[in-house]
């Protein structure tokens, strides 16, 4: 990074906690990454592609603006019986997509949902802007969601957005309002722009508030929570949110140092790592909490 922009390893680590990121090669699309995660999730859950009824993709980096990346993933994995669509909730998108899946299943419109978060942030980052290019990474995670008897599942959810703050983190051009042209390319306005300090302030308050509301809706007390999976954007945001919400850091899963901010993919990737490490055990009470462009935010209480 020091050879690309005016920054230092010391600044990046002190201000963000990030040591490494994963950058996908040019030929590896968001759909290809998502298909990889989806295949692993299906295999572990014992679900065949044709068993999937609902395929929902969260992405801020669709491979194409039309059609949805979910349709490309559907074709790649052969989930031929599914309805496939994308959810655009930025970094909160995985939680929003889980909630849509829960709605489909609980209303009897399908039995098995495949929820995928896939993000190729390296393709939309301005590699000349040191205030953003040092933060983001590429990655993908996926989950199979289905109904279960007993006490397991999504027990309390709180989601909220504030579109008045959209310009704090956005891609100004390249959509239908300001289509791509030479001026857009010259001014680099098709790439991510962020008011980092403002986003930081909103993130801490909003995530702490959402965490409290999701817990209240699940009937849990703070002490009941075994493990917290916050969106991994910045270790300082994670620590400040935990402090503000009254959650001890020992219960908070952190891997931002290895991956940077992978937008909506951070939570499923963190959960997968926690399973691999043996830290996430059946029966645990989890709190998932996220924040992102929109602005969007939310939290979810889950009995694993």
- Residue of 261, 268, 280, 297 that binds ligand UT7 (CB under 6 A): 261
Q: Are 195 and 169 in contact (CB under 8 A)?
A: yes
**Nearest distance from C-beta of residue 292 to ligand UT7, angstroms:** 5
Q: Using CA atoms, how far apart are residues 42 and 7, in angstroms rounded to an integer? A: 41
- What are the phi and psi torsion angles at 86 (to 5°)? -100, 150
Q: Are 238 and 219 in contact (CB under 8 A)?
A: no
- Taking CB atoms, the residue at the shortest distance from ligand UT7 is 196
Q: Using CA atoms, how far apart are residues 182 and 174, in angstroms rounded to an integer? A: 11
Could you say which of 91, 158, 159, 190 is catalytic? Answer: 91
Q: Fill in the per-residue mask, 217 to 256: x = in contact with ligand UT7 (CB under 6 A), - = not in contact.
A: ----------------xx--x-------------------
**Nearest distance from C-beta of residue 182 to ligand UT7, angstroms:** 28
The residues with which 83 forms a beta bridge, in sequence order, are 54
Count residues near ligand UT7 (CB under 6 A).
20
Q: Are 38 and 69 in contact (CB under 8 A)?
A: no
Taking CB under 6 A as the binding criterion, the range among 35-43, 47-55, 58-66, 126-134 that sits at the site for ligand UT7 is 126-134
CB-based contacts of 50, cutoff 8 Å, min separation 6: 78, 79, 80, 81
**261 is a catalytic site residue:** yes
Footprint on residues 11-40 left by ligand UT7 (CB under 6 A): 11, 15-16
Residue among 210, 223, 214, 292 nearest 251 (CA): 223
Task: Write out the two tokens for 216.
Answer: 């209240």
Q: Fill in the per-residue mask, 133 to 152: x = in contact with ligand UT7 (CB under 6 A), - = not in contact.
A: -x------------------
- For residue 292, state whether it binds ligand UT7 (rule: CB under 6 A): yes
Footprint on residues 190-219 left by ligand UT7 (CB under 6 A): 196-197, 199-200, 203
**Nearest distance from C-beta of residue 261 to ligand UT7, angstroms:** 5
Q: Would strands 169-170 and 193-194 be described as parallel, antiparallel, or unpaired? A: antiparallel
Residue 22 or 130: the one with the smaller Cβ distance to ligand UT7 is 130
Q: Is 24 exposed, middle or buried (0-12, 13-18, 19+ CB in 10 A)?
A: buried
The residue written with tokens 């986003």 in the block is 199
- For residue 69, state whether it binds ligand UT7 (rule: CB under 6 A): no
Residue among 41, 110, 14, 3 nearest 269 (CA): 41
- For residue 269, state whether it binds ligand UT7 (rule: CB under 6 A): no
Sign of CA dihedral 192, 195, 201, 205: negative
**Nearest distance from C-beta of residue 26 to ligand UT7, angstroms:** 23
- Residue of 81, 131, 193, 255 that binds ligand UT7 (CB under 6 A): 131
Task: Write out the two tokens for 79.
Answer: 């989930």
Residue 218 or 241: the one with the smaller Cβ distance to ligand UT7 is 241
**Residues annotated as part of the active site:** 91, 231, 261
Residues near ligand UT7, by CB under 6 A: 7, 11, 15-16, 91, 130-131, 134, 169, 196-197, 199-200, 203, 233-234, 237, 261, 291-292
């Amino acid at each position: 990074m020091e050879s690309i922009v005016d920054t230092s390893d010391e600044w990046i680590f002190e201000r963000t906690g990030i040591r490494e990121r994963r950058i996908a090669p040019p030929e590896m699309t968001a759909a290809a990454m998502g298909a990889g995660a989806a295949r692993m999730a299906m295999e572990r859950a014992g679900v065949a592609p044709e068993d999937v009824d609902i395929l929902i993709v969260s992405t801020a980096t669709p491979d194409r603006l039309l059609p949805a990346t979910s349709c490309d993933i559907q074709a790649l994995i052969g989930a031929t019986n599914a309805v496939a669509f994308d959810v655009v909730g930025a970094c909160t998108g995985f939680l929003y997509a889980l909630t849509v899946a829960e709605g489909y299943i609980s209303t009897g419109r399908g039995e098995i949902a495949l929820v995928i978060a896939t993000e190729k942030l390296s393709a939309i980052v301005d590699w000349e802007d040191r205030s953003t290019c040092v933060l983001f990474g590429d990655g993908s995670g996926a989950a199979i969601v289905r109904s279960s008897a007993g006490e397991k599942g999504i027990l309390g959810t709180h989601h909220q957005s504030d579109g008045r703050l959209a310009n704090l983190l956005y891609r100004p051009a390249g959509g239908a309002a300001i289509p791509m042209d030479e001026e857009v390319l010259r001014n680099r306005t098709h790439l991510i722009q962020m008011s980092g300090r403002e986003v930081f302030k909103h993130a801490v308050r909003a995530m702490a508030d959402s965490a409290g509301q999701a817990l209240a809706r699940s009937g849990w007390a703070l002490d009941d929570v075994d493990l917290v999976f916050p969106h991994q954007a910045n270790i300082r945001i994670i620590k400040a949110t935990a402090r503000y919400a009254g959650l001890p850091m020992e219960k908070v899963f952190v891997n931002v140092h290895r991956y940077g901010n992978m937008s909506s993919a951070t939570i499923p990737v963190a959960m997968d790592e926690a399973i691999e490490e043996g830290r996430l055990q059946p029966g645990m009470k989890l709190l998932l909490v996220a924040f992102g462009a929109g602005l969007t935010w939310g939290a979810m209480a889950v009995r694993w």
